[in-house]
Every structure is written in C-alpha cells, then in structure tokens.
Amino acid sequence: MMSEENDAGAEDAPPPAYESIHFAADADALPEVPRDGYVKTKTIEVSVTNPTKVGDGLTAYAVYTVSTKNKDPAYKKDESIVVRRYSDFQWLRGRLSTLYPGIVLFPLPEKTVTTNPFQSDFLEHRRSGLEAFMKKVVEHPGLGTCEDVVMFLEEQGGSSWDQRAPWYSRGAVGTALGAVDSWFQSIGTATETWSTGAGMESVMMEEDPKYLEATEYLLLLEERLKRALKSGGEIVNAVQNLGILTGTFGENAHHLGDCEEKGAKMLLGDEAGGLGQAFRQVGSAACTMRAPTEAQAERLAKEFRAPLKQALQYVRAAKESIDARLDALLKLQACRAKVQSKRAKLEHALHAPP
C-alpha cells in the first residue's frame, strides 16, 4: 500500500531541473557545453519599432520599422532601416528553420485572431515579440551573419528581396500552400518509411540514449507547463471576476441605500434613513475594492501567466528541432533500406547464371 502511494506521488511530482539529470560518463561522452550553448554576438544591434497600420478594410495590414547597427563585415551597411510585415518575419523564421534544422529558433509572437488587430496594445505585444525574435537571431554566431538575415535587415526592395519567394508563397495564400505542401511531405515520408520497414521502433533503437532522455524530459516539461498555464489562467480569471462582481455588488448596494433612505424619510421623516446610509457606505467600500482587485489580476497575468506561456512557446520551439531530427532519421533509415535492397538485387544479377 505504501509503495503504491509513493508511486502515485512520484507521478505527480514536478520534473527536476535539467541540471539534476546526470548522464552516465563513458569514453564516448559528449564534451561539456555551456548553458548558453554559444557565445553571443554583440556586434549587431537590432530594434523593431513604430507599428503602423497601412491601408483600410480587408486589405489593411501592419508594418514595423526594423533598425540595425552593426560592425560586422558580413553587412554592407553600418546602419540600415527597413519596413517589414509580420509575414516577412514568418518567412525569415521558416527560411532559417529549413537551412539550420538543428538550431532551436526563438518563437514568433502568436498569430492571435482578434477583432481589432490594429489596437495599440495588440500591436505593442506583437512588436515586442518580433524584436525579441530578431535579437535572438542576430546574437547567434551562425544566424546573425547568414545571407538571408543580412538581406532581411538591409534590403527594403531590390531583386534579392523581391525574388526571395514567388508571389503565391507569400501572405495568406502562401500559408495555405505551405500547409498543403507540408501535409504532402509528411504523407510521402510516412509512405516511404512504411514501405522500407523504417519506423518509430527502429528509430528508438538507433537514437542516442542521452538524446532520448533529454527529449523525454522536454515532453514531460511541456505537459507540466500546459497544466500550470491552464491553472494560471483560471486563477487570473477568478481574480478578475472577483473584481467585477465586487464592483457590481457595490453599485447595487449604493442604489439600494438611496432607495432605502428615500423610502424611510417619506414614511418616518427626515431623521430616518440610517439603514440606507449604511448600505451606501458598504457599496462605496465595495466599489473602491474593484480597481485594486482588477489591477492584481493584471499583475498576475503579466508576472505569473505570461512567463508560463512564454516558457511553453520555448519548449514547443525546441520540439520543432526534435521533429526535424526524427524526420531526418526516418528518411535516413528508409534510404539505407533502399540501398540494401538495390545492392541485393545487384548481387543477385551479377551472380545469376547467364
């Protein structure tokens, strides 16, 4: 009975910090890697400012000013200013993801569906997220000076920027076509691996145990963060609703006090109405509590829920690299199986009697 309780407690326990996972030391162990993973580049400074609405109606969109100062010889200009849309940042991240599948890319701000995409608070939130993404890109020694990043930061127009992708791969059309292409690629990979006998079991047998252990930790961390984010959202909503209800109660108590006082004076004279005054005092006190309670909800959302949400985005960004590695390993095994099949056919043909 005691062991069952301990097992249940172990399942519900939070995951340990990654530093607490100790891998077995052996001759083939990887060298120690600093926590940051690389030395940050400090020769490039980038900022994203001035979110501006362009156009009206259904064709309206927002643009952002991207300013760069750098001392790196990979750039043609010491300073540059370009204007970019959110879809341009999406293009850059997708391009880097394709060219550097092993690098965990900082996530872009979520493409939230909103009834007012040009509200100042929404644009500021997106601007801040886009700036954080660009700062992480230019800090990376391998990404900050790559050709596509240089083009993104320096070229407002011109052949290189205009021809970076055909018209049908940009905007909403490009998003839809990209999703269809990704779906067909996943179907193709699944068909190819199934026909050659490659699969998750064979991948697990070939994969590095240390990598599998780190991946398992990451998946567990994602699940715990999702639970924490859900609970955090419920807490913020509860506090916010408490403020609204308290304020509503105060307003109603104040109205009740007015009615009580007027009725008492009509029936009992001008000296009556003490109960109505008491109701008004309670209502005033309740109304004064609304603003601090709603402010507390905002602080909780900013200091508690927002970091959890951002951490979950980081984990999901890391999972992109995990998925890319898994896909590459499946394709590698499929190619090996094809080579072995063709080699067997060739050997059979060479040794077959004339």
Ramachandran region, residue 60 (left: φ > 0; alpha: ψ -120 to 50; beta: rest) = beta
Lowest mean pLDDT across 156-160, 171-175, 217-221, 287-291: 171-175
Distance CA 157, CA 146 (A): 18
The pLDDT confidence band at residue 351, using thresholds 50, 70 and 90, is confident
Does the pLDDT at position 16 exceed 60?
no
pLDDT (tens digit per residue) in 36-64 = 555 666 788 999 999 988 888 778 888 99
Contact between residue 196 and residue 334 where contact means Cβ atoms under 8 Å apart: yes
Rg (CA), the chain: 30
pLDDT (tens digit per residue) in 283-337 = 888 888 889 998 998 888 888 888 888 888 888 888 888 888 777 777 777 787 8
The pLDDT confidence band at residue 161, using thresholds 50, 70 and 90, is low
pTM: 0.61
Does the pLDDT at position 113 exceed 70?
no
CB-CB neighbours of 26 under 10 Å: 6
225 or 6, which is more confident: 225
The pLDDT confidence band at residue 12, using thresholds 50, 70 and 90, is low
Distance CA 312, CA 26 (A): 33
Average pLDDT, the chain: 76
Lowest mean pLDDT across 7-21, 244-258, 311-325, 332-346: 7-21
Distance CA 257, CA 285 (A): 13
Distance CA 215, CA 304 (A): 26
Q: Which range among 26-30, 155-159, 282-286 has the greatest average pLDDT?
A: 282-286
Number of H helices, E strands in the chain: 10, 3
CA distance readout (Å), 170 to 90, 224, 230: 10, 36, 34
Distance CA 152, CA 40 (A): 20
The pLDDT confidence band at residue 278, using thresholds 50, 70 and 90, is confident
User: According to the model, what pLDDT value does residue 48 have?
Assistant: 94
Distance CA 160, CA 164 (A): 6
Mean pLDDT confidence for 332-353: 81
Q: What is the DSSP letter of 48?
A: E
CA angle 313, 59, 82 (to 5 degrees): 65
Question: CA torsion angle for 178, 86, 94, 172 (degrees, to 10)?
Answer: 0
Distance CA 265, CA 272 (A): 5
The percent of residues above 70 in pLDDT, for the chain, comes to 70
CA atoms within 13 A on the CB side of 255: 6
The pLDDT confidence band at residue 68, using thresholds 50, 70 and 90, is very high
Amino acid in the structure at residue 132: A
User: According to the model, what pLDDT value does residue 64 have?
Assistant: 94
DSSP 61-125: EEEEEEEEEE--TTSS-SEEEEEEEHHHHHHHHHHHHHH-TTS-PPPPPP----S-TT-HHHHHH
Q: Which range among 89-93, 111-115, 252-256, 306-310 has the greatest average pLDDT?
A: 89-93
User: According to the model, what pLDDT value does residue 166 have?
Assistant: 46
Cβ neighbours of residue 148 closer than 8 Å, sequence gap 6 or more: 92, 95, 96, 99, 164
Contact between residue 66 and residue 83 where contact means Cβ atoms under 8 Å apart: yes
320 or 35, which is more confident: 320
The pLDDT confidence band at residue 6, using thresholds 50, 70 and 90, is low
User: According to the model, what pLDDT value does residue 47 have?
Assistant: 93
The tokens of 252 are what? 């109603």
251 or 348, which is more confident: 251
